[in-house]
Structure formats: structure tokens, C-alpha cells
Structure 1
Amino acid sequence: MNAAEELKQTMPASVVSTGMQVGKPLALIKKEDMLKVAAKVKEMGFNHLSVITGIDYVDRFEVIYNFFSYGKKENLVLKVILDHEAPEVESLTSLWKGADWLERETYDLVGVRFTGHPNLIRILLPEGWKGHPLRKDYDMSVEQFVTVGEDGEDIVSTDGSNLLRRK
């Protein structure tokens, strides 16, 4: 029995289904149970959270988590499906400190909100940036320009006016 199947057996009300993703055991988790399931995953010996990423589909968002157990030399993938109108799931920062930056990156690029995150702000793009570049509704026709202000702050504009102020 692989780790996803073990999780399904242990938490049948929280695990919707199991399968494989690129040769790794996969468990689809109910959104409202993600933090509880992640705590169980950690208890099972998956001590490394290596990836959190989000995917925007036409009708939903998916957040995918990749875990690794150094002791067992095993991988485990968890996935949650989120509503397209309000993509939000609980933060895992209380269990894995590394989730901090991974969740911020997913928020920045895909627009998924992680409730309970201690500092959910952009990590790759400046705070004034409009939209989330990996979302299907991101407007690629609007150019955004970033310059550094006198105090070192990022200045974002859509008309390039901030470029003209530079000496």
C-alpha cells in the first residue's frame, strides 16, 4: 500500500480519491480538511514540503503539494480543488516553515489565498502589480512598467510615466 492509499484508509472522510501523478502516489483532499490531512502526512514521516503550486483551469483552481520522506525515501502528492470565484485554502505554515515562501509564490503568480498565512504578500512581483500572471484571466495586453523610486521602493505604472521621471 502506498502513502496515498494509507492516507485514504486512515482519513476516508477527508480523502476524496487516490491515484498516481508522474509516478508518485496522489491523494485528492477536501479543501476544508487540508490542514488536518497535512498534519497527518507530517506524522506519517513526510518531513519535507518541496513544492506548492497552483493551476488555473476554466472552472476551478487546483493547488498541488509535493512532500518527501527522507526516512522512507518516498514521495507523496496532495491536491485540493478550489472554487474559481474564491480560490482559498488553509496555510500550511504552522506545520512547515518552508510553506511561507511557497504559498506566497502561488499567491503572487496564481492568486490563490492561503488563510492563516502570517505574511501573504507578493514575493516575485512588486505590490502594485495588477493581476496574477498565471491566471487565465490575466490581461497580457496591458503593459506594466516597474522602476525603483528614490527611497528604493518599486513604482508600477501601465503608461510608462515612471520611466520618464528617471534621470
Structure 2
Amino acid sequence: MVGRPEPPRGLLRRSEAMARAAVPAFYTAVAMVLAAGPTGVPALVPAVALPQVVFWSVVRPGAMSPAAAFGLGLLLDLLTFAPLGSGVLTLLLAHAVAVAVRRILARQGFLFAWLVFCGFAAGAAALGWLLTALLSVSLPPAAPALHQAALTAGLWPPLAFVLGRMHALMLRAEEGP
């Protein structure tokens, strides 16, 4: 045995681990509900959701599972009155791509991660625009999609800072006293 021995796995330890695993999805849902308030910025809810799903999918993929991304996508659709399934598809695809490239992103610096996330934001906005066009059988204006991509990319730095601190606290709590 190297290092400290593993503490016994009792009910309290298991429930604490389950609660810690639920923290990313819970805080993402809370942030989405708060962003849906009367802000006057309709693109704020998806702009808050996407960075958190991508961040947690890269940093802690066990806590941001596909089921959690699905639930958050459904909440996104309900909060934004979007066609059901468009937010689900967007967040599930973002989660899948983030998990696929997580080994590369985890070793890179902030600027590279931000540039990659700008691609996520542009792709999510383009997918939303395309799904809206397909479901309405007409071409919607591109300006709202561009605004959403810019807002989402601009929210990455402050959200990544806060989420990074939250992740550090979670790691410290897992290490124990």
C-alpha cells in the first residue's frame, strides 16, 4: 500500500461522492434558471449552458454524463421556448465532442482552450440556426445566431475561472483532511 489507506466505503462516503458528482449539473441548471430571468438578453441561457457543459465534460466527464447533458438540454429548450430537441441535440453533441478531445484540451493553456471553445460556440449557434431553419421551413436571420456565438464565447473566460475554482475545491474535498 502506497500513500494513505482508502477510507472505508460506508453509506456516508457513497452519498457524499454522489452529491459531489451531481454538483456540476446542479449548478449548471441553477445558472440556466437564473439566466432565464428578466435580463432582456434571450441568448443568455444557452450562452451560460454551453460553456459549463463543455468545461465539465473536459475536466470531470463522470460528473457531466450524457444523461446530465440531455437533461440540461431539455431544460434549455423549456426555458428558451425553443423547439424540443434542439437544445438537447446541441448540448449532447457539444458533450460528445468535448469528451472526445478532452485529453488534448486538458494539456493546453487557457488561450488555446478559449479558441477551441470559440469553435464550440460557433458550431452550436450554427446548429441552432440550422435546426430553426429546418423546423420553420424558412431562413431565419443570421444576426441572432452570430450574437449568441459572440456572447457564448465572451462568457467563457469568467465562467472558466469560476468553474476552475469550483473544480479545485472539489478536488481538495476529495483528498480529505
- Decide: shared fold, TM above 0.5: no
* Structure with max Cα Rg: 1
Q: Taking structure 2 as the reference length, what is the TM-score of the superposition?
A: 0.25
Q: Identify the structure with bigger relative contact order (alpha carbons < 8 Å, sequence gap 6+).
A: 2
The structure that is helix-richer by fraction is 2
The structure that is strand-richer by fraction is 1
